Amino acid sequence: MAFEFTDSNFQTETDKGVSVVDFWAEWCGPCRMITPIIEELAKDYEGRATVGKVNVDHNPEVSFKFGVRSIPTILILKDGEVVDKHVGVTTKQALSEKINAALN
């Protein structure tokens, strides 16, 4: 199951290793389309990367910090620093390639 990032836990949960963060909202159709992919990636990368979601409506601070203006936005962080970003719907394969690059 995808991890739930919040304003209060984001810093501590993303400061070590690789994190994949999906910025989304319940009312966003494209966000709902990508949810199954995020859930699959959470299982595929369990123990190697933290894969999760940030609800932008409930967590405005972290959304503002990273300048998220369009959703879904997916950030890939390594040791707290953004190493890749994707805005909009994408494929599991494309995200896997980005995650693997960050893990290497």
**Domains of the chain, with CATH numbers?**
3-103 (3.40.30.10)
At 65 the three-state DSSP class reads helix
- The verdict on whether 66 is a catalytic residue reads no
Q: What is the pTM of this model?
A: 0.95
**Which of the following is catalytic: 20, 31, 42, 68?**
31
Q: What is the pLDDT along the chain (104 residues), one digit of tens a residue?
A: 899 999 999 999 999 999 999 999 999 999 999 999 999 999 999 999 999 999 999 999 999 999 999 999 999 999 999 999 999 999 999 999 999 999 99
- The verdict on whether 4 is a catalytic residue reads no
Q: Which residues fall within 8 angstroms of residue 29, CB to CB, at 6 or more apart?
A: none
**Which of the following is catalytic: 3, 17, 28, 84?**
28
